[in-house]
Homo-oligomer: A and B are copies of this chain.
Amino acid sequence: MNTSSLSIACIRSLVIDQINKSKSGHPGMAIGSAPILYTLFTRHLKADPTHPKWMNRDRFILSAGHASALLYAILHVAGYDLSIDDLKQFRQLDSRTPGHPEIDVTPGVDCSSGPLGQGIAQAVGFALAEQSLKNLYPNGKNIFDHYTYCLCGDGCLQEGLSQESISFAGHQKLNKLILFYDNNNVTLDGSLDLSFSEDVKKRFEACEWEVLEVKDGNDVEEIDKAITKAKISPKPSLIIVHTVIGYGSINQGTSKVHGAPLGEEDGRRAKELYKYNYPPFTVLDEVYQDFKNTFIKRGQEKYQAWENLFNEYQKNYPQEAKKIISAQNNSVLTELYSDDPRFDVGVKEATRQTSKTILQFLHANIHNLIGGSADVAGSVYTKIPNEPFFSPEHREGRTINFGIREFAMASIQNGMLLHGGLRTYVGCFLVFADYLKPAIRMAALERIPAVYIFSHDSIAVGEDGPTHQPVEQLAMLRSIPNVEVFRPCDANEVATAYRLMFAQEDHPVCIILTRQALPTLNGTLTKDREKGGYVVSYEVKHADITIIASGSEVSLAIEAQEKLLKQGIDSRVVSMLSMERFLKQDPSYIKETLGNDYSKRITVEMLSSFGWHKFAPHVMSIDTFGASAPFEDCLKKFNFNSDELVRRIKEIL
Contacts and interface: CB of A to CB of B under 8 A. Distances in A.
A623 B403 CA distance: 34
Interface in A583-616: 598, 608, 610-611, 613-614
A54 interface: no
Contacts of A167: 158, 196, 198
Given A196-B167, A202-B206, A99 B187 contact: no
A154 interface: yes
Nearest to A623: B481
A473 to B, nearest CB: 9
Given A164-B158, A634-B93, A467 B65 contact: yes
A441 interface: yes
A265 interface: no
B207 A158 contact: no
A160 B158 contact: no
A206 B195 contact: no
Given A170-B197, A441-B434, A466 B102 contact: yes
B155 A171 contact: no
Contacts of A205: 199, 202, 206
Nearest to A197: B171
Interface stretch (A315-323, A457-465, A524-532): A457-465
A431 B24 CA distance: 19
B375 A155 contact: yes
Given A195-B401, A628-B98, A633-B92, A160 B407 contact: yes
Given A432-B115, A463-B24, A630-B92, A610 B100 contact: no
Residue from A168, A200, A207, A467 whose CB has the most chain B CB atoms within 10 Å: A467
A611 B611 CA distance: 4
A304 to B, nearest CB: 36
A611 to B, nearest CB: 5
A391 B329 CA distance: 51
A401 B437 contact: no
B445 A625 contact: yes
Nearest to A258: B378
A154 B404 contact: yes
B467 A112 contact: yes
Q: How large is the interface on A (under 10, 10 to 19, 20 to 34, 35 or more residues)?
A: 35 or more
A188 interface: yes
Given A100-B468, A158-B164, A437-B437, A208 B202 contact: no
A194 B99 CA distance: 39
Contacts of A255: 378
B114 A464 contact: yes
Nearest to A619: B614
Contact of A625 (B162, B375, B444, B633): B444
A429 to B, nearest CB: 10
Contacts of A206: 198-203, 205-206
Contacts of A345: none
Residue from A196, A373, A444 whose CB has the most chain B CB atoms within 10 Å: A196
Given A206-B200, A634-B93, A464 B100 contact: yes
Given A479-B608, A481-B472, A625-B482, A159 B114 contact: no
A405 B160 CA distance: 7
Nearest to A435: B438
Interface string A611-648: 10110010000011101111001101100000000000
Contacts of A630: 24, 91-93
Interface in A388-408: 389, 391, 401-408
Residue from A190, A375, A636 whose CB has the most chain B CB atoms within 10 Å: A375
A91 B465 CA distance: 8
Contacts of A403: 158, 187, 194-196
A633 B199 CA distance: 44
Given A170-B198, A198-B208, A188 B375 contact: yes
Interface in A439-494: 441-442, 444-445, 462-468, 471-472, 475-476, 478-482
A376 interface: yes
A503 interface: no
A404 B628 contact: no
Given A170-B198, A463-B24, A628-B98, A475 B112 contact: no
Contacts of A92: 628-630, 633
Interface in A80-105: 91-95, 98-100, 102
Interface in A416-444: 431-432, 434-435, 437-438, 441-442, 444
A289 interface: no
A377 interface: yes
Contacts of A198: 167, 170-171, 206-208
Contacts of A94: 627, 629, 637
A624 B481 contact: yes
Interface string A335-353: 0000000000000000000
Nearest to A391: B194
A379 interface: yes
A3 interface: no
Interface of A: 22, 24-25, 65-66, 91-95, 98-100, 102, 112-117, 154-155, 158-164, 167-168, 170-171, 187-190, 194-203, 205-208, 255, 373, 375-379, 383, 389, 391, 401-408, 431-432, 434-435, 437-438, 441-442, 444-445, 462-468, 471-472, 475-476, 478-482, 598, 608, 610-611, 613-614, 617, 623-625, 627-630, 633-634, 636-637
Given A65-B467, A432-B438, 16 more contacts: A91-B630, A93-B633, A93-B637, A100-B628, A114-B468, A117-B160, A158-B167, A160-B405, A167-B198, A171-B197, A190-B401, A194-B389, A199-B205, A202-B206, A434-B438, A479-B611
